[in-house]
């Protein structure tokens, strides 16, 4: 007789069993004071990310060295990702949801003065 296995964890599986401190501590929703501190930290991260991206863009216009342009582009890409993540977190805390495409477009528009190229899908 062959036993058919179902999808997912099998009876008796303890992989997701919580132990130690995680078994007794249930995370509580953030207080208004904690949310305010998180918001302030996000605002600082957003400000500095935008400033660094603008500096990198200015540097890219000052050089003709392809390797340097590639390094600047890579750094800008990483910073745009961090900026988008910070904007998404800020919007999630404020409204409870966030649209990544809208936030990335907003970030690009705020940093570069124009949005995403509508021809790009």
CA triple 32-36-40, angle to 5 deg: 170
Question: From CA 52, how far away is CA 121, in angstroms rounded?
Answer: 27
Whether this prediction's pTM lies above 0.85 is answered by: no
Q: Classify burial at 20, counting beta carbons within 10 Å of its beta carbon; exposed 0-12, middle 13-18, buried 19 or more.
A: exposed
- Reported as a single tens digit per residue, the pLDDT across 77-115 is 999 888 888 888 888 777 766 666 777 777 777 777 765
- Reported as a single tens digit per residue, the pLDDT across 31-82 is 888 888 888 888 999 899 989 988 998 898 898 999 999 999 999 999 988 8
Q: What is the DSSP letter of 30?
A: P
Domain boundaries, the chain: 31-112
């Amino acid at each position: 007789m062959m036993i058919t296995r179902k999808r997912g964890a099998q009876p008796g599986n303890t992989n997701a069993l919580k132990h130690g401190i995680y078994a007794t501590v249930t995370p509580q929703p953030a207080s208004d004071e904690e949310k305010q501190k998180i918001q302030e930290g996000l605002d600082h991260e957003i400000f500095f990310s935008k400033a660094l991206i603008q500096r990198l863009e200015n540097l890219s216009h000052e050089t003709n060295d392809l390797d340097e342009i590639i390094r600047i582009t890579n750094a800008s890409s990483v910073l745009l990702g961090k900026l988008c993540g910070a904007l998404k977190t800020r919007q999630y805390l404020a409204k409870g949801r966030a649209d990544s495409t809208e936030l990335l477009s907003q970030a690009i528009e705020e940093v570069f003065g124009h949005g995403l190229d509508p021809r790009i899908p």
